[in-house]
Chains A and B, each alone.
Chain A
Amino acid sequence: MSGMLAIYQREMLILRKRFFRQLAAIAVSPLLYLIAFGLGMGKNLKVGGHSYLEFLIPGLVAMNSMTQAFAMSSEINIARFYWHIFEEFQAAPIRNLSYVSGEVLAGITRALISVVVILVIAALSGVVLSYNIYFWLAVTLNAFVFSSLAVALAMLVKSHSDQALLSNFFITPMAFLGGTFFPVDSMPEWARYILHFLPLTHACKAIRAAAFGQRPVYSSFILLAVLGAVLFVLAFKCVNRARE
């Protein structure tokens, strides 16, 4: 437990040192999407009875919580290949489980901070949705999935340059196809079938339904929880692979 807290505390200390830079970095992309898609198209466009801006906000919450949780892979790689701080963790008497738990928890925290930033921006744009328990549960599960994936992949890559590949293969396609900017239901059947396998599609569904005060999408909650657990175990198994 104290090993996990030490890992988590280190990530939070780093985050605190860069807090305002980090906030600006978190805010810039949702702000651009809101201006470009939301304000540009949002006034006249309706999706499922909601304005496009209302439709977009939960999508941005899902997308940003994904990217911020997944950014842990980049943080770990910098600590591993550039600062060599990972050696300090490897030489410490802590279990792999503590290490993975600390990093995953840090990823979830980053994701939750990014969601608060988006909700503030949304409120300033005049959009206030229902931020109930299901909303926060869906966001947390989404962050759990991508934070665990981030730790697993960070343990598997062999150099810092592989990091860009990870984002290109895992994150960018999901950000654009997972239902952030358009309803997946409006896609052709074959595309809907494929997109159904993306975790972000389920995160968008769950977060959007909660934000619109609709009945919770339990299947998406279960899927995200199971996938998160599988990826967490994978991350745990991968830690030893990072040792020479």
Chain B
Amino acid sequence: MIRLENLRKRYGKVEALRGVSLHVGEGELFSYLGPNGSGKTTTIKILTGLAVASSGDAWLHGFHIGKEGVQAKRQCGLVTQNINLDNELSVGENLHLHGKLFQMARKDRVRRIDELLEYIEMTDRVGSPVKSLSGGMKRRVMIARALMHSPRILFLDEPTAGLDPAIRRRIWSLVKSIQKSGTTIFLTTHYIEEAEFLADRVAFLEKGEIVALDTPQNLMEAIGAWALDEVADGGMQTFYFRDREEANKHITTHAGGFSLRRVNLEDVFISLTGKKVI
């Protein structure tokens, strides 16, 4: 469904992507995880036509993004990191314009807008100006807009950035239901729990390179099941254990303050790169 081969992007002297290759299957929810500036948004920009790759190839549902750009764009919907709705227009007008850009007939647009506003629970807001909506509502409208033309692939670039936890969870359940309808989802995030909760597979990106790619479960099991944070000499060190007994044994044989918890994807990233995701 999505295929990248040795994708590279250079901005002047800075190499933002250094030969990224991956494959995302149909109906999969794939998450791209990494700190700011690791190349997550650059990848999405290249795949959706907002940026041009310096070298390498990519295909969306079999269409090459460079040679068959228009067909490739028809396959995907994009929710950008920035809210890019027309603030002066209403929710309905924003959705109509998107439908027109994707050559949808008027009656199809009207039907789809009704469906989508019901889906995001905003049927009463069709005539509301976008500027009157809250941040969470704007995000939901952006998701609805990206789904207007029924894309096979949905790109979500940090879709919950800056939202409060309750609204974030609401967006997660919306994303899950979109995946259930058969849409392939490519999600970038720097929220660990978001990737853990949503993703079928996760790729860790660090300085434009994929440093790990697998299911969240496999990635976490590779370093252990339990993480023990030990606070000593003003610093913190984390140890990983296969089972809880091993961790308890460590606590009884060492002096210091300990905190025992389940391993998460942040631990995976730290063990791979020595850095935190955020």
Check if A6 is an interface residue, CB within 8 A of chain B.
yes
Complex Cα spacing A9 to B98, Å? 11
Name B29-69 residues within 8 Å CB distance of A: 42, 45, 48-52, 69
Across the interface, which residues of B come within 8 angstroms of A93, CB to CB? 69-71, 73-74, 101-103
* A14 and B89 within 8 A (CB): yes
* A88 and B45 within 8 A (CB): no
* A13 and B103 within 8 A (CB): no
Across the interface, which residues of A come within 8 angstroms of B82, CB to CB? 84, 87
Check if A83 is an interface residue, CB within 8 A of chain B.
yes
Chain B positions 97 through 131: 1 when the CB is less than 8 Å from some CB of chain A, otherwise 0: 11011110000000000000000000000000000
Chain B positions 70 through 90: 1 when the CB is less than 8 Å from some CB of chain A, otherwise 0: 110110101010111111110
Expressed in whole angstroms, the minimum distance between the Cβ of B71 and any Cβ of chain A is: 7
Other-chain contact of A92, B80, B83, B101 (Cβ < 8 Å): B101
Across the interface, which residues of B come within 8 angstroms of A10, CB to CB? 86, 89, 97
Chain A positions 75 through 107: 1 when the CB is less than 8 Å from some CB of chain B, otherwise 0: 000000001110111111111000000000000
Smallest CB-CB separation from A240: which chain B residue? B52
Q: A6-B100, A17-B88 are in contact. Are A243 and B51 (CB under 8 A)?
A: yes
Expressed in whole angstroms, the minimum distance between the Cβ of B144 and any Cβ of chain A is: 13
Check if A219 is an interface residue, CB within 8 A of chain B.
no
* B70 and A14 within 8 A (CB): no
Expressed in whole angstroms, the minimum distance between the Cβ of B66 and any Cβ of chain A is: 12
Smallest CB-CB separation from B78: which chain A residue? A91
Across the interface, which residues of A come within 8 angstroms of B48, CB to CB? 90-91
* B74 and A244 within 8 A (CB): no
Smallest CB-CB separation from B50: which chain A residue? A90
* A2 and B103 within 8 A (CB): yes
Check if B93 is an interface residue, CB within 8 A of chain A.
yes
Across the interface, which residues of B come within 8 angstroms of A243, CB to CB? 49-52
Question: How many residue pairs at the A-B interface have CB separations less than 8 Å?
Answer: 77
Check if A171 is an interface residue, CB within 8 A of chain B.
no
Chain B positions 1 through 14: 1 when the CB is less than 8 Å from some CB of chain A, otherwise 0: 00000000001000
Chain B positions 167 through 197: 1 when the CB is less than 8 Å from some CB of chain A, otherwise 0: 0000000000000000000000000000000
Expressed in whole angstroms, the minimum distance between the Cβ of A83 and any Cβ of chain B is: 6
* A88 and B98 within 8 A (CB): yes
* A92 and B73 within 8 A (CB): yes
Complex Cα spacing A2 to B96, Å? 13
Across the interface, which residues of B come within 8 angstroms of A94, CB to CB? 70, 101
Complex Cα spacing A85 to B130, Å? 13
* B49 and A85 within 8 A (CB): no
Smallest CB-CB separation from B80: which chain A residue? A87
Chain A positions 1 through 40: 1 when the CB is less than 8 Å from some CB of chain B, otherwise 0: 0110110011001100110000000000000000000000
Smallest CB-CB separation from B72: which chain A residue? A93
Across the interface, which residues of A come within 8 angstroms of B50, CB to CB? 87, 90-91, 243-244
Smallest CB-CB separation from A244: which chain B residue? B51
Complex Cα spacing A90 to B97, Å? 14
* A2 and B100 within 8 A (CB): yes
Complex Cα spacing A122 to B80, Å? 48
* A89 and B101 within 8 A (CB): yes
Expressed in whole angstroms, the minimum distance between the Cβ of A237 and any Cβ of chain B is: 15
* A9 and B100 within 8 A (CB): yes
Complex Cα spacing A89 to B73, Å? 11
Q: A84-B80, A84-B84, A90-B50 are in contact. Are A6 and B97 (CB under 8 A)?
A: yes
Complex Cα spacing A5 to B100, Å? 8
Across the interface, which residues of A come within 8 angstroms of B52, CB to CB? 240, 243-244
Interchain Cβ contacts under 8 Å between A and B, 11 examples: A13-B97, A17-B89, A83-B84, A83-B87, A87-B78, A88-B98, A90-B49, A92-B73, A93-B73, A243-B50, A244-B11
